[in-house]
Amino acid sequence: MTNQEEKEELIEMFGVHFEKHYNLSPLSSRILALLVIDACKSGLTFEELVVKLGASKSSVSTNINLLLKMGRINYYTIPNDRKKYFKAAPLSQRLKNYLDLVEDEKTLINRIMNYREKNVSCNAEAINLKNSIAYKEHILKVEELLINTIEKFKEIEITN
């Protein structure tokens, strides 16, 4: 397998992954995959994305805007160059999205635990309360792991 074939296979694998797990459109998924695999150093311009993906300018533009709003990609500019250079968001930023999800889960689990503690009236509700307590323990561990990992990525990103 040539280097180009391997790159194309990786882009497709990542694209399918992003489609499936991030609920992104096929084009958004391919844009993100391409930026993860092919643009890690210098980024890719809008025109390069259009050519590499073989998609219409309007479709690429719409999907870039979606990815920007979602915090999945970033761009930078160069003085005296009107082009934007797109890159996948740093891993620390992408993991921050998961940390936000964990924060929302903590809020919900605390609310349901308070509700269940006040309203336990049968064995099934007592079991649900125990499940909620176990889930909260899990969420707290996930939160700690994410915070530690984000800090490690930030250290790496700062030095590079």
What distance in Å separates the CA atoms of residue 95 and residue 147, rounded to the nearest whole number? 9
- Average pLDDT on 58-68 reads 97
Distances (CA, A) of 139 to 19, 116, 130: 25, 18, 14
Given this model, what pLDDT does residue 34 score? 95
Beta strands per DSSP E along the chain: 44-45, 73-78, 81-88
Given this model, what pLDDT does residue 94 score? 87
> What value does the mean pLDDT of the chain take?
93
Collect all residues with Cβ–Cβ distance below 8 Å to 43 and sequence separation of at least 6: 35, 75, 76, 85, 86, 87
- Average pLDDT on 31-57 reads 92
Given this model, what pLDDT does residue 118 score? 92
Given this model, what pLDDT does residue 159 score? 82
CB distance 122 to 75 below 8 Å: no
pLDDT in tens, 89-126: 998 988 998 899 999 999 999 999 999 999 888 998 89
Given this model, what pLDDT does residue 45 score? 95
What distance in Å separates the CA atoms of residue 30 and residue 36, rounded to the nearest whole number? 10
Residue 13's closest CA among 28, 2, 35, 29? Answer: 29
- Coil, helix or strand at residue 148: helix
pLDDT in tens, 5-20: 999 999 999 999 999 9
Length of the chain counted residue by residue: 160
